Structure formats: C-alpha cells, structure tokens
Amino acid sequence: MLKPLGNRVIIKRVESEQTTKSGIVLTDKAKEKSNEGKVISVGPGRLLDNGERVTPEVKEGDIVVFEQYAGSEVQVGEEKYLVINEEEVLAIVQ
C-alpha cells in the first residue's frame, strides 16, 4: 500500500457512468475522468518552520472532490491511484 508523505493524500477515483444528452452511455475511453474520489491514505501533515505539523482536514474514507488536473496518477498492481496535495482537495462530500 502507498503511504503518503507530508500533506499528500492518496485517492481512488470514484467512476460514475456518463451519458450524452441523447442518452448514449459512454465507454471508459470516451468519458472524462472523474474528479471525485475516496481518500485511501493521508500523510502526517505539513511541517511548519517551528517543527510542528498541521494535520490534514481530510481523513481515510472521506469522499472528496479535487481539482480537475490535480496530482500524479500511479499504478500499484492492478489498481490506479491519484497522489495529490491536500490543497488540491476542493470539498468533502457529505
């Protein structure tokens, strides 16, 4: 499993079925990548100049919305994950 460093967050994209206005279901290759995902792992937080850490606001299991072109995609085995900075998380879905 991936263990993020600093204020980074590991996300597994939540894929949703996408259709056109006319009702045609798009294939995986034709649809845009979702910018919603489940937080898999959270780093220890940002390190301040005085040595203290600012803990991330997100936690494992949260469903979040993140910036469209955020982070780096990595593959571990068959699974693909996105490694992003906490600042790239826009909202937590409740």
**Among 4, 74, 71, which residue's Cα sits nearest to residue 42?**
4
Cα separation, 15 vs 12, whole angstroms: 9
Give the E-state strand segments of 4-78 in sequence order.
8-13, 36-42, 46-47, 53-54, 63-66, 72-76
Hey, what are 70's tokens? 């955020």
Look at 46 and 17; give whichever has higher pLDDT: 46
What pTM did the predictor assign?
0.78
DSSP state of 87: G
Cα angle, residue 81 at apex, residues 17 and 66 outer, rounded to 5°: 65
List the chain domain ranges: 8-16+34-93
Tens-digit pLDDT profile for residues 9-32: 999 988 755 565 666 665 555 445
Which homologous superfamily does the CATH classification assign to the domain defined by 8-16+34-93? GroES chaperonin (2.30.33.40)
